[in-house]
Each structure stands twice: as C-alpha cells, then as structure tokens.
C-alpha cells in the first residue's frame, strides 16, 4: 500500500491531471496501486512524499545511470543556468555534444538534437521516408518508440499485413503505413520484405528490447535485419533511447557489433533533462532542414541546460571501469533475483543485458511479445507491491526494464536482497 501522503496527493492530482500523472506508466495502474509521490532523490535512494526512503530501480526510466542528483551534474546545470536557460540560437555546447555523440557512435557523422526520445524517433522515421521516398515502416510487436501515431500500432491480422491503431485517435490510414513483426523473428521480417519490400522505408527496432521487459537480440537477428534493409534499399533505425550509453557506452551497436543506418538517442544523453537526438551518415542527414527537404524543428532542441547535464553525464560515463562496474551490479542483482525466486519456489525467468533487467513471471525464455504476453501479470503485481512495502521502488509494470545505476552500492543491494524474500513469498500467493 502506498503511503498516506502519496495517496492524498494522488487524489488531488486526479482532479487536474488525466489519471493523476503526466505519463501513463507512472500511475501504477498495471500493478493495481497508486504511485509514490517523490519528494527528492539522491544516488540510489528515492524519498517519498511522507519521507520514507526507497531503493530506486525506475531511475527516471533510464536517464539516472549515475544515480540521482549527481553533484557534478547538478553543478554543470547550475553553471549553465547562471548564463541563461534557453536562447533559440546556436551555442558551442551543441557542437561539442554532437562531437561527443559521434565519438561514441561513429556512424553518427551528423546528429540533430531534440527534446525527447519520441521526437528522435519521429525525426528519424520522417527522414527515412524522405530519404527513400517510401512510406511503410516496420516495427516489432511489443516495441515502443514513443508516441508518434504510426508507432502506436498493433499487428494486423496477418503477420506482414499493415497495422491497426493501438490507441484512440490514430487514424486507420496512418496505422496502415506500419507493419508489425515479432522480435527475434527473422522469418517474419523476411516475409514483410518479400511482400512489401519496395514500399518499406525503414525498420525501427530497440536493439535491446526494454518495452516488453528486457529481451536481448538472438544471434543473427540484428545482422539479419541489416542485411534485409541493405538488400531492399530500406534504412535500419536503432532506437537506442533506452539502451544507448547503458548496455555499453556505444550502446547496443557497440555491444553486438551491428551498425544501423540511423540511431535514435534519448534519456541518458540528457542526463535527466529533456533531450534526445537522431543521426547517421552525412549522406542521409544532409536531407534534414535547413540543409535538405525533411523538416523537423524544436524550440528547446539543444537546450543549454540539457546539453550541460548530458555532456557531464557522458564525461563521467567515460571513466575507466564504468561498464565493468555496471555489469557487476547488474549481475549481482540478477543473481539475487534468481536465488530468491528459487528459494520461494516461484517460476520466474530473469533476463538482463548489462544494467537493464526484468524478472518475467513466466516459465522459460522470453524472446518476443509472444512469450512476454503469457507472463503472469497478477503475480508480478503481488511481487511489486511487496517490494514497495519493503522499501524498493521497482518499475510498476511486468513489461518494463529496471535500471540499476552506478550508485547502487553494497548498501542499496543489501536492502534490495532483504526485500526479495518477502516479495517472492507474496508472489507465491
Ligand atoms: P520519450 O519521448 O519518453 O523521451 O522516449 C520515448 C521512447 C522511445 N524509445 C524507447 C526505446 C523508449 O523506451 C522510450 C520511452 N520509454 C518509456 C519507458 N518504457 C518512458 C517512460 C514513460 O513513457 O513515461
């Protein structure tokens, strides 16, 4: 049960915010509870409205990889703010940020900063359509790339058929420009290209899926998609909004050795402030206005505070040993989850890529939405409520990844371990 103060605030919030929140997943609906209202956070600790402390694994859904309120990031933001917060004019920092991005993602010879992951994927997809002159995009069932109409699409009846709206307000004609295939299903991708290859502008994919829970790419999946796109003149877009700078400094493309035609970034690239980016080779990016005919713009794109927070975050992530440390933290958390589930006799498959992790209440590997959709949502709900009761703030959905940070030290992990016993006992029912 969420604390009384948060419940009171939630009641007030519901008067003026749809569902009491500014983003749906925050409402805790899928776990049958109401959200903890946050007073502050520092390191791995989040402080609720009533002052209670939690070990936090939401981490703002990915950006807080250094931990909350990192002093050097705060100092960078304060310093930038002292010179003004937004100009609507270019700044040197935006050049240096684009250079930082290119250094981490070498194929991103040019990039365009925006203010969210949604804008990054929207920009990349419009660019792909403008560059290829084609209209159809391919996405994965269970994949999420932000709120653009043509991405809020569920699979049509047949596998390679065009999509149907997955949200009210999405015109069927728009949904019909999207084909949905299953993650890790190269035959499905081949079928889509066999049927409509000459219409396909792009395949957009989370190279490490996080929005159905953490599902990694099987051998040959990413390589096969790249080969299909190359063979048919389509662009492969890696949506690294979540896994970029997390599963490796150079994202999934560094970790798995497959380079897309375009990359989308978000979350960590803004260091906790609103930022995203999309980019790729100059031959493609030269199509973006004002250089080329593909229009995309934004009042706060390249905002100096977001650039300062993002650049400081990337600088700190470049410290030697960072990703070995993240791997070790992720591995310890994984081992704790596996051991506690086994101890409680609860069926649970834990899947992890680096510092992205999900306990699936499912028997066997989750390799696509086919398996994810079979997860026991009620068991996850009981587990999540017990974790919260015992001081751990875990992402409130079976179909999300959790985000340990560099600040998840021995104390944070010990507190997590102490909560896992009761949580899996509650999961058992
Ligand atoms: P934003 O527009 O929320 O910054 O980014 C959209 C987006 C794009 N691509 C991927 C792979 C993403 O995971 C996201 C956003 N992720 C969700 C969590 N699954 C953000 C949390 C929320 O929607 O409140």
CATH of the domain at 372: 3.90.1150.10
The verdict on 197 and 80 lying in the same domain is yes
The answer to whether 68 touches 41, Cβ cutoff 8 Å, is: yes
Element (DSSP H or E) covering residue 53: strand 53-56
Per-residue pLDDT of the chain (429 residues; tens, 9 = 90+): 789 999 999 999 999 999 999 999 999 998 988 999 999 999 999 999 999 999 999 999 999 999 999 999 999 999 999 999 999 999 999 999 999 999 999 999 999 999 999 999 999 999 999 999 999 999 999 999 998 888 888 765 554 556 778 888 988 888 889 999 999 999 999 999 999 999 999 999 999 999 999 999 999 999 999 999 999 999 999 999 999 999 999 999 999 999 999 999 999 999 999 999 999 999 999 999 999 999 999 999 999 999 999 999 999 999 999 999 999 999 999 999 999 999 999 999 999 999 999 999 999 999 999 999 999 999 999 999 999 999 999 999 999 999 999 999 999 999 999 999 999 999 998
Residue ending a domain, among 291, 317, 343, is: 317
Domain containing 275: what range?
A: 71-317
CA of 400, closest atom in ligand 1:
19
| SS3 assignment, position 30 | helix
Residue 268 contacts residue 101 (beta carbons within 8 Å): no
pLDDT the model gives residue 305: 98
Q: Judge if 121 and 52 occupy the same domain.
A: no
Domain end position, chosen among 317, 334, 359: 317
Q: Is the CB of 61 under 6 A from ligand 1?
A: yes
Determine phi and psi for 239, rounding to 5 degrees: -85, 95
**Count of structural domains within the chain:** 2
Pocket test for ligand 1, best of 241, 272, 372 (most atoms within 8 A of CB): 241
| Claim to verify: residue 287 and residue 329 sit in the same structural domain | no
| Parallel/antiparallel/unpaired status of strands 276-280 and 110-114 | antiparallel
308 lies in the same domain as 399? no
Which residues are known catalytic residues? 144, 239, 267
**pLDDT at res. 18:** 97
Nearest alpha carbon to residue 228 among 210, 253, 202 = 202
CA of 117 to the centre of ligand 1 (A): 6
Please give the distance, rounded to the nearest whole angstrom, from the Cα atom of residue 118 to the centre of ligand 1.
7
**Per-residue b/e over 303-314, b at no fewer than 16 CB within 10 Å?**
bbbbbbbbbbbb
Q: Is the domain of 160 the same as that of 87?
A: yes
Other Cβ atoms within 10 Å of 264 Cβ, number: 32
C-alpha dist (Å) from residue 214 to 258, 291, 360: 19, 38, 9
Specify the 3-state DSSP secondary structure of 41.
Answer: strand
Please give the distance, rounded to the nearest whole angstrom, from the Cα atom of residue 145 to the centre of ligand 1. Answer: 6
Q: What is the token pair recorded at 351? A: 């899947």
Instruction: Tell me, yes or no, whether 142 and 119 share the same domain.
Output: yes
CA atoms within 13 A on the CB side of 137: 27
Residue 240 CB–ligand 1 contact under 6 Å: no
What is the model's pLDDT at position 209?
97
21 CB under 6 A from ligand 1? Answer: no
Looking at residue 309, its pLDDT comes to: 98
Spatial contact of 313 and 244, defined as CB atoms under 8 Å apart = no
Closest CA to 353 of 220, 143, 207, 205: 207
- Residue whose CA is closest, atom 9 of ligand 1? 145
Residues 256 and 370 in one domain: no
Position 162 scores a pLDDT of 64
How many angstroms is it from 402 CA to the middle of ligand 1? 13
Judgement on whether residues 108 and 162 belong to the same structural domain of the protein: yes
Q: What is the CATH number of the domain that holds 206?
A: 3.40.640.10
The domain boundary, picked from 283, 317, 351, lies at 317
Say yes or no: 348 and 414 in one domain: yes
The values of phi and psi at residue 275, to 5°, are -160, 150
- Do residues 97 and 161 both lie within one domain? yes
Q: Is 23 in the pocket of ligand 1 (CB under 6 A)?
A: yes
Q: Helix, strand or coil for residue 135?
A: coil
Q: Please, what's the b/e burial string for 137-160 (b: 16 or more CB within 10 A of its CB; e: otherwise)?
A: bbbbbbbbbbbbbbbbbebbeebb
pLDDT at 156: 55
* Phi-psi map region of 184: left, alpha, beta (phi>0 left; psi -120 to 50 alpha): left
pTM of the model as a whole? 0.97
- 299 and 367 assigned to the same domain: no
Same domain, 167 and 48: no
């Amino acid at each position: 049960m969420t604390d009384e103060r948060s419940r009171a605030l939630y009641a007030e919030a519901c008067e003026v915010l749809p569902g009491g929140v500014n983003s749906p997943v925050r409402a805790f609906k899928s776990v049958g509870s109401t959200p903890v209202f946050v007073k502050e956070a520092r390191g791995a600790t989040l402080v609720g409205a009533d002052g209670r402390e939690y070990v936090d694994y939401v981490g703002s859904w990915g950006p807080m990889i250094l931990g909350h309120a990192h002093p050097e990031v705060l100092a960078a933001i304060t310093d930038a703010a002292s010179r003004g917060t937004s100009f609507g004019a270019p700044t040197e920092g935006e050049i240096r940020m684009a250079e930082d991005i290119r250094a981490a993602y070498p194929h991103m010879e040019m990039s365009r900063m925006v203010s969210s992951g949604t804008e990054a994927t929207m920009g990349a997809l419009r660019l792909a359509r403008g560059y290829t002159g084609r209209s159809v995009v391919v996405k994965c069932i269970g994949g999420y790339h932000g709120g653009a109409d043509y991405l809020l699409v569920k699979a049509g009846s047949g596998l390679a058929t065009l999509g149907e709206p997955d949200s009210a307000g999405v015109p069927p004609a728009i949904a019909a420009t999207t084909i949905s295939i299953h993650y890790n299903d190269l035959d499905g991708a081949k079928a889509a290209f066999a049927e409509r290859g000459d219409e396909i502008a792009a395949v957009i994919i989370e190279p490490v899926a996080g929005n159905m829970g953490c599902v990694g790419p099987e051998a040959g999946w990413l390589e096969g998609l790249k080969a299909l796109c190359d063979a048919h003149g389509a662009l492969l877009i890696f949506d690294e909004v979540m896994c970029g700078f997390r599963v490796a400094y150079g994202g999934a493309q560094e970790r798995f050795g497959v380079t897309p035609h375009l990359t989308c970034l978000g979350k960590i690239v803004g260091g906790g402030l609103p930022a995203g980016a999309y980019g790729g080779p100059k031959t493609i990016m030269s199509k973006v206005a004002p250089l080329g005919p593909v229009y995309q713009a934004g009042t706060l794109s390249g905002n100096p505070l977001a650039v300062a927070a993002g650049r400081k975050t990337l600088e700190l992530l470049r410290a030697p040993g960072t990703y070995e440390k993240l791997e070790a933290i992720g591995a310890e958390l994984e081992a704790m989850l596996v051991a506690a589930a086994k101890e409680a006799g609860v069926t649970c498959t834990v899947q992890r890529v680096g510092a992205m992790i999900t306990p699936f209440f499912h028997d066997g590997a989750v390799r696509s939405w086919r398996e994810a959709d079979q997860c026991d949502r009620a068991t996850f709900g009981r587990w999540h409520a017990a974790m919260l009761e015992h001081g751990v703030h875990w992402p409130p959905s079976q179909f999300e990844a959790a985000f340990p940070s560099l600040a998840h030290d021995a104390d944070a992990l010990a507190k997590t371990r102490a909560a896992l016993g009761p949580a899996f006992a509650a999961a058992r029912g």
